[in-house]
Amino acid sequence: MIESGCERIEEFPASADAVFALLADFGSIGEWWPGGLEKVVNRGQGVGMVREIRNTLGGVISERLEELAPNDRTLALSIVGEAPAAIEHYLARGRVVETGAHRCRLEWKSTFRVPSEEHVEPAQKFLGAGYKAMFQGLAAAASRRPRTLTDYEDVDVYPLDAKDQEELLSQQNECTFIWGTCDHWAVGVIMTYVWLDGSFWLTATSQRKRIAAIRRDPRVSVVVSSVGTRLGPARTVTAKGRATIHEEADTKARIYPRIAQALYRDDPVLAEKFARMLDSPRRLVLEVVPETYITFDSHKMMRRVDWESV
């Protein structure tokens, strides 16, 4: 095997925070990549999560987030499974460096192995083309972020950091659960949930209309607010995913106590009794596995407001 590498370093007329926020929102690459992507499927959350990227030509690349350090604005990713151009053991590291007022530099460097010398140049050309597209997409997306804010319009460039997102989903126990009716009307209700193993877990009884709707079309959304948590208000997570209905006894035995504990954290006796009450004949467990996220952190946005101009 031959070891080689590829790199691209470029200046951006945008803040380091804006560029890094796009990179750190690992599952949302499809929102800023400049065309050619058909679908991105995310598995997991935070460091260790995998994004499966399908392009319009039928190719698939799976990338795993290996490291994420927001304070240093660095991250690392690897390719898992089969990679194009005979590439193996691929590892890329990105670093965003602030170089001035609303200016930064992105350093993207990778190492990899190929079977022989004749594979080095094709691999570097493949990666170089991908890095060029990545930098173009990042530059365009970051440039949409206003240097200072004087209104409340362009807020999509203030996502939650991965650590805060995980903390929010773990701390909160109430969500808005949204599904589609047979006449294509979106409906949502407030439900209790627990965040466990990268999935939302909820419960409902089989006669509820949402159960019939999920059997017909499992595509749902879950919306979580930070209100009532240690994170304070105005931080949100919206997860688009697919719901699975669980009727097996072992899943119910595992999830009912978790839901009861989420509701009655300070009263273990009441939580135990409520878990027994949940165990009724028609009750089911719902598991929602997120595929994409939409997140918002107003605390980031408020730090960018030019209050003297408002």
User: What is the pLDDT at residue 102?
Assistant: 82
pTM above 0.75, yes or no: no
Rg for the chain (alpha carbons), in Å? 22
- How far apart CA 114 and CA 122 sit, in angstroms, is 10
Element (H, E) at 268: helix 268-278
C-alpha to C-alpha distances, 82 to 76, 79, 85, nearest whole angstrom: 18, 8, 10
- How far apart CA 147 and CA 156 sit, in angstroms, is 14
Q: What is the DSSP letter of 159?
A: P
pLDDT in tens, the chain (310 residues): 999 999 999 999 988 888 998 999 898 898 899 987 888 998 887 889 999 999 888 889 999 999 998 888 999 999 999 999 999 999 999 999 999 878 999 999 999 999 999 999 999 999 999 999 999 999 998 877 555 556 666 566 678 888 889 999 999 999 999 999 999 999 999 999 999 999 999 999 999 999 999 999 999 999 999 999 988 888 999 999 999 999 999 999 999 999 999 999 999 999 999 999 999 999 999 999 999 899 998 877 776 666 556 6
- How far apart CA 304 and CA 17 sit, in angstroms, is 11
CA–CA–CA angle 17, 77, 101 (5° rounding): 15
- How far apart CA 89 and CA 92 sit, in angstroms, is 10
